[in-house]
Structure 1
Amino acid sequence: MPPRFLLGLSLLLAPFAGTHAQDPAPKEYRVLLVGNSLTYTNNLPALLRAVGASQGTPITTETYVAPGGTLSERWRDGKAADALRTRKFDVVVLQEIGGQVGCLASASRTRTAPCAATVQAHEGFAALAKASGAKTLLFTTWSHDERMQGRIHGGMRKLAKDTGATVFNAAGAIASLHKAQPGSTPYPDGTHPSTQASLMLAVALYRDITGTAPAPKALRVGGPLLPVNAAVSAASPLEAQPALAGDGKVTVVPVALIEPLVKALPDPKDEARDLEGRDPAREPGRRGR
């Protein structure tokens, strides 16, 4: 075949090369979050959506939270449970007050009413999630006290075993960030995460939801970064409350702030040791929630 003809043929086919080898469309994730101010401070759901958008992986969220609220309260009011029964979710994130989970590490305290209510709520939500094909993630909170942190990890292990859920080691993710940046202040008021810590949670949560760590990219956050004292109600989804909608402005988080978070993501093996209590997260100045 003449060389000129081959050249012409290759130029003709070039625009069509690879049309049959395109990457599959990114999966979309629907995530239900249930918790309290540790979830809504700095608007973790909005940060999670922004991380997903930066990766070309659409994430939609529906969030039921209240200041100081317990998971048993959210179970009893029925709003999040109704959402699970009537809408499709891929992942359910359950964030309980640390002390409520820590009681499960003690055989005597397990039989108390608050502890029993916590167990019932976790079992109820996890059962609904399983019935609908959703994965349940148990959000591990933090404590300034090493022994309490160990109890929280122990309670989470028990809940995960009893419900078939997976532990999301939020405390370990923030501890890993602080280890990488010792000068940072993850908990400005001793309890609630800083904006940087909440961003770390969003990056870590994205990894646990999708199974892949995000590539460092700038974020465009469409929701307001809510303060601790935001007027949040558990009567409706966080995303549907007009008072929390903000002014429509977008907060841009540059890639220079995201890259250190991705690099600081803890190794899964280290997380396993952390959860087993052999290397508990040590973080001065924290108070458990």
Structure 2
Amino acid sequence: MRILMLGNSFTFTNNMPQMLAGLTGAEVVHHTRGGARLSEQLNPSTKLGSQTQAALQKEKWDYVVLQEMSHGPITAPKSFFSGVEGLCRQIRANGAVPILFATWAYQRGGAKLTDKGWDYDEMAQKLSEACHKAARDNNALIADVGNRFYELSHAQNLYAADGVHPNEAGSHIAAETIAAVIQQHEKEAQ
């Protein structure tokens, strides 16, 4: 099995693609850059986009995981929805299954959340709504990591010191959630 992950630091932090490889037994490749948006992955005139476009046209994948910039689904919904739509079209043309990696709200009470003027529950809900809509509209699977963070945030700290990125436990939760979606899809496809 081959998995391509398209995203940014939320994907590559703590070497999460390797955690996913360990859980699935798959070869996992990631095309990531800190702060990258999905629209960049579609743009062949950027270094990242050129790499992704070549990979989707010339290589065979089983799953392609899409992760938007942390607050992108809320602050730039038009770009987010069109990025998901364009990539899902290309992923299906490749014969692969698209999976939307729905990310988490910034840490409750953290400086980043305060800077944005957002409330934790509000950010979590808006991210979830946007990601679920994008998955539905594009018939993509969804790895709702954001919801797992929301459920577990009272019981354990899943954030790095910046209150935005995952700590190692958070990256494990992300890898486990994505792996569970893949394993469920594999079981249903038999």
TM interval, short-chain normalised: 0.7 to 0.9
Measured after TM superposition, the shift of residue 63 of structure 1 is 0.6
Deviates more, 1:74-83 or 1:33-42: 74-83
TM-score where L is the length of structure 2: 0.80
Q: Number of matched residues? A: 166
Cα distance in 2, alignment partners of residues 157 and 173 from structure 1: 14
Asked if residue 83 in structure 1 is aligned to residue 55 in structure 2, the reply is yes
1:98 touches 1:140 (CA, 8 Å); kept in 2?
no
TM-fit CA distance, 1:34? 0.5
Report the residue type matching 1:88 in the other structure.
K
Alignment-mate amino acid for residue 94 of structure 1 = L
Find out whether 1:198 has 2:171 as its counterpart. yes
Match of 2:92 among 102, 118, 130: 130
Answering whether residue 72 of structure 2 is matched by residue 100 of structure 1, we say yes
Q: Partner residue of 1:25?
A: none
Aligned to 2:38: 71
Q: Which residue of 1 aligns with 2:102?
A: 140
Contact between 2:142 and 2:181, CA under 8 Å: does it hold in 1?
no
Q: Counterparts of 2:138 and 2:167 in 1: how far apart (Å)?
A: 31
CA RMSD in angstroms, aligned pairs only: 1.8
* Distance in 2 of aligned mates of 1:171 and 1:151: 11
Q: TM-score, normalised by structure 1?
A: 0.54
Uncovered stretches (5+) of structure 2, i.e. residues with no partner: 44-48, 107-119, 186-190
For each residue in 1:231-252, what CA deviation from the matched residue of structure 2 results, as whole angstroms up to 9, or x when unmatched? xxxxxxxxxxxxxxxxxxxxxx
| Residues 102 and 153 in structure 1, CA contact (< 8 A), matched pair in contact too | no
CA shift, 1:209, in A, is 0.9
Mapping of 1:250-269 within 5 angstroms?
A: none
> Structure 2 CA distance, aligned partners of 1:116 and 1:175?
25
**In structure 1, what is the equivalent of residue 149 of structure 2?**
174
Asked if 1:164 corresponds to 2:139, the answer is yes
Q: Assess if the C-alpha contact under 8 Å between 1:102 and 1:154 holds in 2.
A: no
Q: Following the alignment from structure 2 to structure 1, what is the Cα–Cα distance between the partners of residues 147 and 130? A: 15
- Map of 1:232-251 to 2, 5 A cutoff? none
SS in 2 for 1:190: coil
- The amino acid of 1:48's aligned partner reads L
Q: Deviations over 1:24-73 (max 9, x none)?
A: xxxxx210100110001001111111123xxxxx3001111011111112
Corresponding residue number in structure 2 for 1:121: 83
Q: Larger C-alpha radius of gyration, 1 or 2?
A: 1
Gaps of at least 5 residues in structure 1 are 1-28, 53-57, 104-113, 213-289
Question: Aligned equivalents of 2:152 and 2:79: distance in 1?
Answer: 33
The alignment-based identity, stated in percent, is 28
Q: Secondary structure at the match of 1:136?
A: strand
